[in-house]
């Protein structure tokens, strides 16, 4: 094969792959709006171009060894590319995610035979299919050698493909910045897509995204909830959900949080869940898993289609008043486009330069909301404190934990850095938040709201202060207990409280509210990846996600699936282990990523 033959072979493969990519759309759904159709028309060839270009480069290198080597390489590499795409289509059909290195390691690893079970006939069919693909690819090389078009045609075709690639990336960057649903929701359809994103750069240039999406298409194949909620709600208690950013499980003590600890100890209706796991090790995943009660992997799908959490939708239908007061901005991460979408006049940000100032401002505005709301209708309140995230507190605050260091300069920290001053500073920031909570509880009691308000306090994720001595400071770096284990406290009027030591997770909170507060009879699996919070049945496994990785925790064993590499195993202290979670837990957890795609 000469260089011209190689180009046309890769071009034919490109056209074939574009046709096969339509299968992903038949599975997930097309978007018939003008914007959706245009993005589909650019996305399929734009993303496929990268693979065709990669194949072309490899074959050109083989051509340097001779035409026969190039021909053999075309058949072998072309077949491998075709097989990989067909296998990915099969995996996507079954699980709604794409093949990664982690998935390949699972399949070929020791547990693969237990996770992926196929009858013997499957392997016979697979062998025949591989032979057929090889023969078909040989036919494509024969066809490519018969094409008589010259170099000018090849250059023109390559130029068109590059323009399509550039247009696809440009449209995605625009669609993500402007939150266009029909663009965002398609981004996960095709394998290994890494389109361009320019949100931060565009903000720095002075541009601002649209406050509302340009159109709201149907939710594609996302089916959330799986069935309409059936609720016989009579009493409508107030609900107050409080999050403390970066709240470590071991910081709920009478020394660090005297006000909150006393509020728990002195209330017969207060629960303390001692073994509670967040759904992520960062804010996006932690908050998303709590409100949606499903893994963070669904973020793009629900955000693109503006699908509200079932809890928030039901509260809106029941006439709840929403008082949403966060210290940090609600449009970065874009919770205004998913968790709190559909709320009129949503308060996006708080006033103040420092985090502690914004915490105080958020609480003051929430108390003002309590004064001005319609007292005849129930409310859903949300407070999100941020001081612990930055280890901040007022400069004149009587900090009880000394000596304390400056705010962390991550560039100067090493695994040998003494964590004590930084831990003390963190404790002081939590102690400051506790002072705010003390004021809040006093205000609720003075208004009599403690009698008819369900109060839930937890963290979006934990915070590590070099606990593992591996130079981990903060969060979103591993799935050890320091970054994922958070306190959970619940005050539920009319219930007999107490300490609960069985494992729970963020996925369990929404089922408890829907079942016990709003009298919904649906099984939790209709809208959740969790269980009823008050059900002590052992959880077989828990999913915890970061921005790029997925972890399955079973007991104290943690297996991490890295999108860019292999599966690694740890214990809860982040000590590497040779033992992964059980094949059953792996198999069941993988299915959860497609649970709400029908």
pLDDT level of residue 471 (50, 70, 90 thresholds): confident
For residue 374, is pLDDT > 70? yes
The answer to whether the CB of 219 falls within 8 A of the CB of 307 is yes
* DSSP codes, 139-173: HHHHHHHH----HHHHHHHHHHHHHHHHHHHHHHH
Instruction: Specify the higher pLDDT residue, 27 or 404.
Output: 404
Q: What is the mean pLDDT of residues 473-481?
A: 91
Q: How far apart are the C-alpha atoms of 223 and 352, rounded to whole Å?
A: 40
Q: What is the CA radius of gyration of the chain?
A: 27
Residues in Cβ contact with 142 at an 8 Å cutoff, skipping those fewer than 6 apart: none
pLDDT value, residue 428: 98
Q: What is the mean pLDDT of residues 535-543?
A: 96
pLDDT digits (tens, 9 = 90+) for 562-592: 654 457 899 999 899 988 899 889 888 988 9
pLDDT level of residue 373 (50, 70, 90 thresholds): very high
Neighbouring C-alpha atoms within 13 Å toward the C-beta of 215? 13
- Judging by beta carbons within 10 Å of its beta carbon (0-12, 13-18, 19+), is residue 349 exposed, middle or buried? middle
For residue 148, is pLDDT > 60? yes
* Full-model pTM: 0.76
- If one counts every other C-beta atom within 10 angstroms of the C-beta of residue 381, the result is 23
Q: For all residues of the chain together, what is the average pLDDT?
A: 90
From the centroid of its chain, how far is CA 541? 17
Residues forming a β-bridge with 490: 271, 456
Q: What is the mean pLDDT of residues 529-549?
A: 94
Instruction: Specify the higher pLDDT residue, 411 or 116.
Output: 411
pLDDT level of residue 94 (50, 70, 90 thresholds): low
For residue 191, is pLDDT > 60? yes
Q: How far apart are the C-alpha atoms of 241 and 453, rounded to whole Å?
A: 10
* DSSP codes, 23-74: HHHHHH----SHHHHHHHHHHHHHHHHHHHHHHHHHHHHHHTT-HHHHHHHH
Q: In the chain, what are the domains?
A: 3-190 (no CATH), 238-540 (3.40.720.10)
- Integer CA distances (angstroms), 325 to 329, 343, 349, 350, 373, in order: 10, 12, 8, 8, 14
For residue 212, is pLDDT > 60? no
CA dihedral for 9, 12, 16, 21, sign (positive or negative): positive
DSSP H helix total and E strand total for the chain = 19, 13
* DSSP codes, 419-464: -HHHHHHHHHHHHHHHHHHHHHHHHHHHTTGGGSEEEEEEESS--E
Give the least confident one: 158-167, 416-425, 573-582. 573-582
Residues forming a β-bridge with 557: 554, 571
pLDDT level of residue 215 (50, 70, 90 thresholds): very low
Q: How far apart are the C-alpha atoms of 274 and 455, rounded to whole Å?
A: 17
């Amino acid at each position: 094969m000469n260089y011209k033959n190689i180009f046309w072979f890769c071009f034919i493969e490109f056209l074939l792959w574009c046709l096969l990519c339509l299968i992903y759309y038949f599975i997930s759904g097309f978007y018939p709006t003008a914007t959706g159709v245009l993005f589909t028309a650019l996305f399929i060839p734009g993303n496929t171009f990268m693979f065709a270009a990669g194949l072309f480069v490899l074959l050109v290198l083989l051509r340097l060894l001779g035409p026969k080597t190039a021909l053999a390489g075309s058949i072998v590499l072309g077949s491998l590319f075709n097989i990989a795409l067909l296998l990915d289509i099969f995996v996507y059909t079954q699980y709604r995610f794409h093949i990664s290195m982690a998935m390949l390691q699972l399949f070929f690893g020791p547990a693969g035979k237990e996770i992926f079970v196929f009858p013997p006939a499957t392997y016979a069919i697979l062998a025949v299919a591989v032979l057929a693909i090889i023969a078909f690819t040989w036919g494509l090389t024969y066809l490519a050698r018969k094409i008589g078009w010259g170099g000018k045609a090849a250059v023109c075709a390559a130029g068109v493909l590059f323009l399509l690639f550039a247009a696809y990336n440009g449209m995605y960057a625009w669609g993500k910045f402007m939150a266009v649903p029909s663009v965002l929701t398609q981004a996960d359809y095709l394998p290994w897509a890494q389109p361009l994103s320019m949100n931060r750069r565009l903000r720095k240039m002075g541009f601002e995204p649209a406050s509302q999406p340009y159109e709201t298409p149907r939710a594609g194949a996302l089916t959330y909830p799986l069935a309409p909620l059936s609720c016989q709600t009579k009493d409508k208690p107030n609900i107050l959900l409080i999050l403390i950013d970066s709240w470590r499980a071991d910081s709920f003590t009478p020394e660090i949080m005297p006000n909150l600890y006393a509020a728990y100890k002195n209330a017969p209706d207060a629960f303390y869940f001692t073994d509670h796991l967040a759904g992520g090790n960062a804010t996006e995943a932690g908050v998303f898993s709590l409100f949606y009660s499903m893994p963070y992997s669904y973020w793009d799908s629900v955000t693109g289609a503006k699908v509200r959490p079932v809890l928030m939708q039901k509260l809106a239908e029941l006439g709840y008043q929403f008082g949403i007061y966060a210290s940090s901005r609600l449009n970065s991460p874009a919770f205004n486009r998913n968790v709190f979408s559909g709320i009129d006049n949503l308060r996006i940000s708080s006033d103040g330069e420092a985090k502690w100032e914004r915490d105080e401002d958020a609480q003051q505005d929430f108390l003002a909301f309590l004064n001005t709301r319609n007292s005849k209708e129930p409310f859903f309140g949300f407070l999100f404190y941020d001081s612990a995230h930055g280890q901040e507190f007022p400069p004149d605050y009587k900090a009880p934990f000394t000596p304390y260091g400056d705010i962390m300069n991550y560039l100067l920290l090493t695994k040998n850095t003494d964590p004590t001053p930084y831990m003390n500073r963190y404790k002081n920031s939590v102690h400051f938040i506790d002072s705010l909570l003390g004021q809040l509880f006093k205000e609720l009691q003075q208004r009599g709201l403690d009698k008819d308000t369900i109060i839930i306090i937890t963290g979006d994720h934990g915070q590590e202060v070099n606990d593992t001595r591996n130079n981990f400071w903060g969060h979103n770096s591993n799935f050890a207990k320091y970054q994922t284990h958070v306190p959970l406290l619940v005050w539920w009027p009319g219930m007999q409280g107490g300490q609960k030591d069985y494992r729970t997770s963020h996925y369990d909170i929404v089922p408890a509210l829907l079942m016990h507060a709003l009298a919904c009879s649906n099984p939790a699996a209709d809208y959740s990846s969790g269980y009823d919070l008050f059900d002590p049945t052992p959880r077989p496994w828990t999913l915890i996600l970061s921005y790029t990785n997925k972890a399955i925790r079973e007991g104290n064993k943690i297996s991490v699936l890295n999108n860019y590499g292999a599966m690694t195993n740890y214990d809860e202290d982040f000590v590497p282990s040779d033992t992964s979670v059980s094949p059953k837990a792996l198999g069941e957890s993988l299915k959860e990523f497609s649970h709400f795609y029908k």
